[in-house]
Homo-oligomer: A and B are copies of this chain.
Amino acid sequence: MIQLDASDSPDSRTLHDRLVAGIRDIILQGDLPESIRIPEAQLCAQFQVSRTPLREALKALASEGLVTLRPNRGAIVTPLDATLLSEIFEAKQAIEQFIGMHAAIRADVADLTALEDLHCALQQVAHRGDYATYTLLNSQFHDRLAASAQNKQIQKIYSKLQVQIRRARLVINQNPTRMQESALEHEGIMAALRIRAPLDLADRLVRHNKATAEAFMSKVQADRKRPVRI
């Protein structure tokens, strides 16, 4: 998981934080079908808390955009449609541009070594064809790159956009060849980062994002026709 605030202690100090993180994880694992009422009572039982803190957590997640509150009709996991997804990729492009321009200049030694390590692992995993691990490491790689831009606001925005995309992965069957392409693009990204080339890095990140977006969007129409889950 992404560590944005230093306030995020090992067991997430407050009940509120634990609930927000917990429900977010449940949604990201796809264990809460979208578009249907989130069972407040069930979650209360699951987390062993009363409705008050649970509802507070849901309001916070709503403010994040992950759930939608329908007055008097409960909360639902915000449905992901093609429009929303394409807007998210578009917004992410703007952020990636920024990350490229600034990470190339601001990344410190710790960032660079961490990124090299992740990159190395990614290439091996891509070679093995382990898609699940690739997705995980890929997330970590891009989060670290976002952090290298040294702007907490951007990091937060990026993280929220990534959450939605991670959620989309649940319902979209990924094209396996995309992983190989992605790994190739990552070589270019690392090359640009190593020589600290802002324009090149930004350009490669934007193109990487576009390629991922296209791979996603081409599958959206096909996959979303089928029943979403359960």
A interface residues with partner B (beta carbon < 8 Å): 13-14, 16, 20, 52, 55-57, 59-65, 69, 71, 84, 87-88, 90-91, 93-95, 97-98, 102, 151-154, 156-157, 161
Contacts and interface: CB of A to CB of B under 8 A. Distances in A.
A93 B69 CA distance: 31
A4 B36 CA distance: 24
Nearest to A89: B153
A178 to B, nearest CB: 23
19 contacts: A13-B71, A14-B69, A52-B52, A56-B56, A59-B60, A60-B60, A63-B63, A63-B64, A87-B151, A87-B152, A87-B153, A87-B154, A88-B153, A90-B98, A90-B151, A90-B153, A94-B95, A97-B97, A153-B161
Nearest to A154: B91
Nearest to A15: B71
Given A69-B16, A71-B14, A153 B91 contact: yes
Contacts of A157: 91, 157
A16 B72 CA distance: 12
A180 to B, nearest CB: 29
B60 A62 contact: yes
Q: Which 4 interchain pairs have the tightest Cβ spacing?
A: A94-B98, A91-B153, A63-B63, A60-B63
A144 to B, nearest CB: 18
Contacts of A59: 16, 56-57, 59-60
Residue from the set A14, A59, A151 with the largest chain B CB neighbour count within 10 Å: A59
A87 to B, nearest CB: 5
A151 B102 CA distance: 24
